Amino acid sequence: MSDFTAGFWDYYIGVITVVSIVACAVLLWGMSTQRVPGGATTGHTWDEDLVELNHPLPRWWIWLFYITIVFSLVYLVLYPGLGSYAGSTKWTSKGEYEAEIKQANAQYGPLYEKYAAQDLKQVAADPQARAIGQRLFLNYCAQCHASDGGGSRGFPNLTDQDWLYGGEPETIKASILNGRNGIMPPLGAALGEEGTKDAAHYVLSLSGRTSDPVRVARGKEKFSAICAACHGAGGKGNPQLGAADLSDRIWLHGSSEAALIETIGKGRASVMPAHKDFLGEARVHILAAYVYSLSNPQSAGMPVR
Amino acid sequence: MNDSLKGPELRKPDEFIEEALYEVREKIYPRAVGGWFAGWRVAMVLVTQIVFYGTPWLPWNGRQAVLFDLAARKFHIFGLVLWPQDFIYLTLLLVISALALFLFTAVAGRLWCGYACPQTVYTEIFMWIERKVEGDRQHRIKLDGGPFGLRKLRLKAAKHGLWIALALWTGFTFVGYFTPIRELAGEVAMLALGPWESFWILFYGFATYGNAGWMREQVCMHMCPYARFQSAMFDTDTLIITYDKGRGEPRGARPRSADPKAAGLGDCVDCDICVQVCPTGIDIRKGLQYECIGCAACIDGCDRVMKKMGYRPGLIRYSTENALRHGWDFRQMVKRALRPRVLVYAAVLSAVTLGAAASLALRAPIKVDVIRDRAGLAREVEGGKIENVYRLQIMNTEERSHRFVIRVTGSDELEHLEVLTEAQPLEIGPVSSRAVPVRVRAEPEHARRSSQPITFIVEASDDGKHPLPEVFSVRERSSFFVPGESR
């Protein structure tokens, strides 16, 4: 794509390039035919008696310069260089990149195909596939889910048994392929400041943590009316909606009272991006198997930590 | 160098000659010469070329002993495998080579050019072939000056055929350092060479043929930067090839029976042998010139003539500017050779060489890079502990498997560090690397600062079956982060 909107600059650059090359050729021709005062020295004398011996270069040096001119002209015909002229080979760095990708796909494709035909659990039990999966994971997933898959605040831990959308191999694969949009709506306005705090205390009580019994009682009503729609009556969560289990000890966005109030009042929007177009299904298949093996070391035939 | 400017050909101010900026090269026909220094050069040619042509064929533990595998980024040199991380050793090699060049040049001028430089070595081989086919200097001049005919065609074809064959073999050998030479030989035999292999064989072969067959002294005179900067390392105590003007002049022809003193002549019989044998076509009697590559062919040539004449050898010899001026003998000259710059060069060269050798011998066969997870600096896990995640890139540079144990130590403030990773010890295959995620846990109450230095220790582990030949460990520093709210 041309960086300039007006066509003038294409010609401007092209003309400057061609004129420079022609000027070089004219200069070379002039130098090779020019005759100068000769002799044993160059004729200059410095510091009283210092002279420079005359050692003319061999004539073939000139031909090296002419070769560079021929090279530049051939180059400008074959490759882009003259304004917006694309060159007869139509070479682009993007085209070269795509050719390399194509070559790499042709080289590694059969390996991915082999695993894509296998069941996910079978792939997870294959050490070579897991090694590939780990490399993919470190490249594409570790930025959020950490190198060990342990996640961090806001990014789920993939090594435990707690799954927002379900931990079956096929569900994991679907999560990676299509991504997930985890929306916890902001309820601060609906609940009010005190109501939010009450709901937070009720949620604290679900996992048996220290809570204010008065607020728990008040919060329970609010929870049944509003929160239970997604999180279920006992706060056990709902993998269909990606609603978190609030009765366990795993807290994606923080477990403190302040963090819970913030989550309820302001809501949370967690996005797992879709990787179908980016990585392709064959790679995601191996990746899903690797992620599955992280929380199921036995089924993957791995030594238990 | 200045001597050459004081010759009779210095242009007089009123003289005016016009000429082109570039001149047509005059072909040089060096005459064959034998002698002590020619023998040294032949020996150097043999040694360097046996090493060059022979090395790629040496086997070592089922692979090529010396193979620079660019695609896999592994340089195999006998038992040693160098990784890209070992690039410093290439730097050291270049530093050592440069210092050696400085030292040898300061002591005895262009020794490298005269005996060891590939340009000299290949030119010597190509000239030897030329001599075998076309004959010595006189025959070659006559052949080139003669009319074109069947005999000339036959000789030229034979010479160039042999040159091209040798050049292609040289190119083939060169490529054989970068791709397994036995497979390469098979590909050549099957005419199944890849495009890049073909290119490099032909390119290197063409460079050999062109430089040693056609360019010769022009490479040294017009292309080589080392030729020029070596002159800057000469001083008045550097051994150079010089003509003893005091002894030789006035030069002149005379019968063998004549007494030169009676005829008022010096020892130089003006036979021009020194000019005829010179591969760069200079007259050493004009003094030190930048074209002189220090090959000492003129010494060998002159000594033969001196012997024939019944004179002392050494009219042209290795000597220093000071020795010539003051008439020193060999011992005085050598005494001056050990001057401060030579001693400094020698000391630095030995220090760097010893340092490089020691570092190479003592290096641990593994390399470790610690890459800290950056997205989540720290996370809280059960029991209120703080966990940091690291990725350890562990590279086993040796050609056998190693088993490793990862440990971690922190400062006094950060006790009770736990390392959690896959089952230890970890096994890493020969000449391969692995990324190992490692979690480190600590009790936050011990931490007074948010960032604590910690050190990973990766140690070779005994597998219980084989005794460890040597225990080694690699330490890599990183940091452990404790969030403010947890402290």
Residue B190 in this model has a pLDDT that exceeds 80: yes
| A88: contact with B, CB 8 A cutoff | no
Give the separation between CA B224 and CA B216, rounded to whole angstroms.
Answer: 11
Continuous segment of H or E residues that includes residue B271: none
Residue B4 in this model has a pLDDT that exceeds 50: no
Question: A58 and B375: CB-CB below 8 Å?
Answer: no
Residue B176 in this model has a pLDDT that exceeds 70: yes
CB of A287 closer than 8 Å to CB of A279? yes
Amino acid A223 reads F
Residue with token string 């410095």: A46
Detail the DSSP E strand segments found in A10-73.
Answer: 35-37, 41-46, 50-53, 57-58
In this prediction, residue B447 carries a pLDDT of: 66
Fold type of domain A182-272: Cytochrome Bc1 Complex; Chain D, domain 2 (1.10.760)
Q: Give the strands of the sheet with B451-460, arranged side by side.
A: B426-428, B402-410, B451-460, B473-481
Give the separation between CA A159 and CA A291, rounded to whole angstroms.
Answer: 8
Q: What is the pLDDT of residues A76-111, one digit of tens each?
A: 999 998 888 888 999 999 999 999 999 999 999 999
Q: Which two tokens stand for residue A171?
A: 């569900």
Detail the DSSP E strand segments found in A140-278.
Answer: 180-184, 268-272
Phi-psi region of B310 (alpha: psi -120 to 50; beta: other; left: phi over 0): left
DSSP A177-188: HH-EEEEE---H
In this prediction, residue A54 carries a pLDDT of: 79
pLDDT band for A46, please (50, 70, 90 cuts): confident
Q: Which of residues 40-59 of A touch B (CB under 8 A)?
A: 40-41, 43, 51, 53, 55-59
In this prediction, residue B406 carries a pLDDT of: 86
Q: Which CATH superfamily is domain A108-179+273-295 in?
A: Cytochrome c-like domain (1.10.760.10)
Give the separation between CA A114 and CA A103, rounded to whole angstroms.
Answer: 18
pLDDT band for B3, please (50, 70, 90 cuts): very low
| B422: contact with A, CB 8 A cutoff | yes
DSSP B117-142: -HHHHHHHHHHHHHHHHH-SHHHHHH
Three-class DSSP labels, B320-387? CHHHHHHCCCHHHHHHHHCCHHHHHHHHHHHHHHHHHHHHHHHCCCEEEEEEECCCCCCEEEHHHEEE
Q: What is the pLDDT of residues A234-278, one digit of tens each?
A: 889 999 889 999 988 888 888 888 999 999 999 999 999 999 999
Residue A298 in this model has a pLDDT that exceeds 90: no
ipTM comes to 0.74
Whether the ω angle into residue B13 lies within 30 degrees of 0, i.e. cis, is no
Detail the DSSP E strand segments found in chain A.
Answer: 35-37, 41-46, 50-53, 57-58, 180-184, 268-272
| B11: contact with A, CB 8 A cutoff | yes
Q: Which two tokens stand for residue A14?
A: 């092209």
| B21: contact with A, CB 8 A cutoff | yes
Question: A36 and B17: CB-CB below 8 Å?
Answer: no
| A2: contact with B, CB 8 A cutoff | no
Backbone angles phi, psi at B132, to 5 degrees: -65, -35
pLDDT band for B1, please (50, 70, 90 cuts): very low
Q: Which of A16-21's residues contact partners 24+ apart within 8 Å by CB, and which partners?
A: A17/A76, A17/A81, A17/A82, A18/A82, A21/A69, A21/A72, A21/A73
Residue B337 in this model has a pLDDT that exceeds 60: yes
Residue B469 in this model has a pLDDT that exceeds 70: no
- Per-domain boundaries in chain B: 24-363, 366-486
Give Cβ neighbours of residue B93 (< 8 Å, ≥ 6 apart).
Answer: B356
Q: What is the pLDDT of residues B422-435, one digit of tens each?
A: 677 888 888 888 88
In this prediction, residue B466 carries a pLDDT of: 53
In this prediction, residue A271 carries a pLDDT of: 94
Q: Which two tokens stand for residue B195?
A: 């495009």
Give Cβ neighbours of residue A134 (< 8 Å, ≥ 6 apart).
Answer: A290, B435
Q: What is the pLDDT of residues A104-157, one digit of tens each?
A: 999 999 999 999 999 999 999 998 999 899 999 999 999 999 988 888 888 999
Give Cβ neighbours of residue B32 (< 8 Å, ≥ 6 apart).
Answer: B131, B136, B137, B277
Backbone angles phi, psi at B367, to 5 degrees: -125, 145
| A39: contact with B, CB 8 A cutoff | yes
Question: B15 and A138: CB-CB below 8 Å?
Answer: no
Contacts of B16 in chain A (CB under 8 A): 37
- Beta-carbon contacts below 8 Å between A and B: 110
Amino acid B334 reads V
Q: What is the pLDDT of residues B85-121, one digit of tens each?
A: 898 999 999 999 999 999 999 999 999 999 999 999 9
Give the best-scoring range by mean pLDDT among A36-40, A212-216, B12-16.
A212-216
The CATH class of the B366-486 domain is mainly beta
Backbone angles phi, psi at A164, to 5 degrees: -65, -40
Pick A150's closest partner by Cβ from B5, B20, B439.
Answer: B439
Q: What is the pLDDT of residues B391-413, one digit of tens each?
A: 999 898 888 888 888 888 887 66
Name the minimum distance, in Å, from the CA of A124 to any CA of chain B.
16
Q: Which of B74, B94, B137 is nearest to B367 (CA)?
A: B74
Give the separation between CA A200 and CA A259, rounded to whole angstroms.
Answer: 9
Please compute the mean of the pLDDT values over residues B138-166 and round it to a whole number: 94
